[in-house]
Structure 1
Amino acid sequence: MPTDQDVTLGDTPRPQNSFLKRKCDAIFRQIVTIQRQSTNEALQAMDHAELSTRIELLDHILGNFEAAQTGLKEENPDELDSSSRTDFLAIYVSIKAAITRELKSQRIEPHAHSPTALPTFAGAFTEWPNFISMFQTVVDNKPELTKIEKFQHLRSCLKGSALDVIRSLEIRESNYDKAMNLLKSRFDNKRLIFQAHIRELFELKSAEANTVGSLRVLVDKFTSHIRALQTLGSKIHIADCLLILIMSQKLDPSTQTKWEESAACSNIPTWESMETFLEKRGQTLESINFATVQNTPSAKTCPSFIKLTAAIRRKEAKKANLCLNCLKHGHQAQQCKSSNCRRCLSQHHTLLHFIPAQQSTTDCTPDEKPESAAQATTLVSKSNNISPDPSLTENVLIATAVILVKNSTGSFIPCRAVLDSASQLNFVTSRFANQVDLKMSKFSYSVSGIGESDLKISHCASITFKSMHNDYSTSITFAVTPTST
């Protein structure tokens, strides 16, 4: 019979409860024993295999303790207030931390079945952000690795132009930081990275017709570039860089170089900055051209140019990109407002006037001395000093043609034109010009070869005429003279 000093029936421990309690105590004593054996000296004497095994043993002991402790609390709710689990976990953490530190000092990660794959980089600007981020996580930020080991890993990751940047550096501890700085200086350029993504968008290959695979590849690559651009800048930056790329492709190489030199390396350029640059560049080129024109001697007064034949002068003027009408820079003959040739009234300078050999025998040949500037302003067409037999000059045949000339009212009237293949200028009498009421313009010119003396011409007129036999028509400028002989 139980006495009063004995526990009541309700307080009598159950067998299962007693077993779980003893099991928790046994496991607790076991981990305390392991703690005594895990001094720094003892851990340093162990190799990595034994250290890894001890960590596995600790995890197994923790699992057993957690299972027994859970069962005990279910059987006896009073165990919920017990501190045994807290004490157990504190010992567990201290032992595992000590073993983990020792493993790291030996540069061997616990449970590492295979080395982490290192990233690679070949020099593409679009790949730099991902590479440097991953390399810093896997290698650069690991304090257990020496700088020599980090340098070795870095060289193994680089290829192509990226490896060329640090190829000359020896593998030394002091050169690791230099290598990282060189790579960042070359590739850590936000503007170039941004522009590289824009450029690659334009270089994406088109999807093949009715091919799902190629369409998926195109969409994935396009989306990848867009996401990278959105990470680096805003939508306004993306739009501005698209405009800048289009404009840059239209610029000459010299202006492209100047633009790249003016743009900041660390900032994404804006369209406003390029617009400002182009305006300033245009003003600079205008100033340079103006200074060049002012300091360059005129071709009209250049002795070397004047000594050339008219045909070669024309060729040299074209090569120098001069206006063929005034022999100046900055415009072409179509926009020139200077007067035309004083020989034929065509739109070229008098120094460039010449007649092909098959049309006239009065032109200078390449072996002849060219005419001077003073001679170029006056037509010379004098007859040779030949005294033919009078019987041969009694009747001289001159070619003529009947043409239809347009008068001021728009009507065509017939008239006879004298054809002189040796003439260097077209002439019309003032009487005829008045009859058809031609619109005349002032024109100052001196002609030799008609009559016995020089003839001063003060007016010219444009005449439109056509053939009587077909649809041919044309307009020619004529010098107005009192007489035709």
Structure 2
Amino acid sequence: MDGLLNVQYELHNIIKKGFSNFKKTPKDRLNFEYLEVKLENLEKDWLSFRSNNTKLYEISEPDALSSKQYVQNEIYEATEDIYLLYKSLIKKLLNQNYKEQPNKEKTIISGQQKDSWVKLPKISIPTFSGKYSEWTTFRDLFLALIHNNETLDSVQKLHYLKSHLTDEAEQLIRHTPITGANYSECWSLLEQRYNNRKFLANNILQRLFSIKPINLESASGLKVLIDTTIDCLNALKNIDIDVSTWDIIIIHIVSFKLDQETRKQWELHNSSSVDLNNLPTLDQFKCFIENRIRALEFVESRKASVQRTSGTSSRPKTFVVTNESDKLRCEFCSESHKLCFCKKFASEDVGKRRDFVANNSICYNCLGSNHRVHECRKSGTCRIDNCRKRHHSLLHPEQESHSRATSSTAREPVESARITTSAKPIVSCLSTQRSSNSGQVLLATALVEAESETGDQNIRALIDQGSQACFITESAVKRLQLKKTAVSETITGLGGDRAINSKHLVSIKFKSRFNRGRKIEITAYVLKDITCYMPEKRFNEINWIEMQNLSLADPHFNRPNKIELLLGANVYSQILQDGIKKDSTGTLLAQNTSLGWILTGKVTCQNQFNSNSLENISVLQTDILKGNGKNL
């Protein structure tokens, strides 16, 4: 029995090593004869291995054989898996490179028919990651090229199927052995999970109805509108939904998303038709939009050329030189802020504030000093008690206020006006200090997958439960190609003596690396930078036994890297889950969240890597004046 076991171990190693070396074989050696010889040798080794395995069970007692490492380590099952993969790879190369002939095409030159061999490009099957939007394309191609291909056996089909699955879809059948009987089961699992026509139709319709309207006529906007509409209709047809009678409904929905001029031209086009009793068709609407796109492309190109030509002409230019300290100068207290943010001005009674504005020729609506109220371009109105009159909330008359009692003092409406004028300050507190040689303090960081037009991208976030708002860097906005909304806000640092402006607000969706099914959508204010690299110095991993089994939100928490996203308390409350751990010293804390386990606290590291130490202490206080935001 021991002799046969040695032979089995040797055959196992021969097949395993042969498969490993075969994958490294240069392509120029993989000719037809070489592959046939390899397949023949593999079959011989496998037959010997199977024969010896049968003899072992014939001559051995079951209890004695079960105690051997051969049975306990499942050598036979491991060898069978290697053999199936080895044989599948050889057959794949034989079929692809030498059994398939190129497509024969016929060309006619000068009236004579000639045969020409044209090698068409290879058709590649896209990988499927588990997204419902990718399922229909993947399913149709896989059925046509692999599933319905009679030249392939079930083992090869299962091998192709596994090699074209990633992420969630791959995890669904990851531990299924590659055998002929398992192919049908795996394909049924995928169809049962992802061939959900109701969910697919819901996503397509949601995309169709969420097309953004066009504000200004442009060829690019019309292209996006009509292309998205046609793509959604084709996607509905692919899941066997009849849309042939939807023309008037689709035209009604899409026409309301056109800009005013294009919609006017469409109605005039319909009115000029011969038979007004017939309803317009989708083909007619599509033809009109395409003609409109061609016309606008021509006009826009002419405008661009005229602007380039006129740009060289000399025009009188006026330059204004201002001092940096004079950009923000309060007319009431002469400090560096706007009049609407002046605490001293707000503490005065309404009568004095109205007299001051009138005597200094200041705008009653926005409190600007360079124009009067009839020239003001801002659309804001008074917000106290739904007044809606064209004056600033700080100038709202006392006798018109219905929100206070009759016995209130003159100071009460001042406070009410000051609160209503602008949103409550959004405070974000973040403090980092120079680390010592004995250790440094960790702040909670996490790697999240943010959505973008080019696909999901990893972004490093700082979780700050002391912040009332979320922030994102300009570089991250550009990388994720997020659409900006214009806002007007002022951010002051510690002490309030330095002000920076954030002009944009973005909406961002992200998900956990461990739970991709749940998405979180937030709005974040755009800043050039959030903070310095975190942590300040690189250090060796922490020797904490319990932490080794945790799924960390930031696996590289010990390496300095940039922070591109700050998640405030509103997000912290959504991601927090049950579970908290402390190390033996009580200085390091691990909390369980839907993004993974986050680490905070002091770490004592003897082997820190030297780096330039930075200090940054900032307290962000954001006073936001929300105007009519527009997408940029």
For Structure 1 versus Structure 2, the TM-score category normalised by the shorter chain is: under 0.3
**TM-score, with length taken from structure 1:** 0.25
Higher relative contact order (CA 8 A, sep 6+): 2
**TM-score, with length taken from structure 2:** 0.20
The structure in which a higher percent of residues are strand is 2
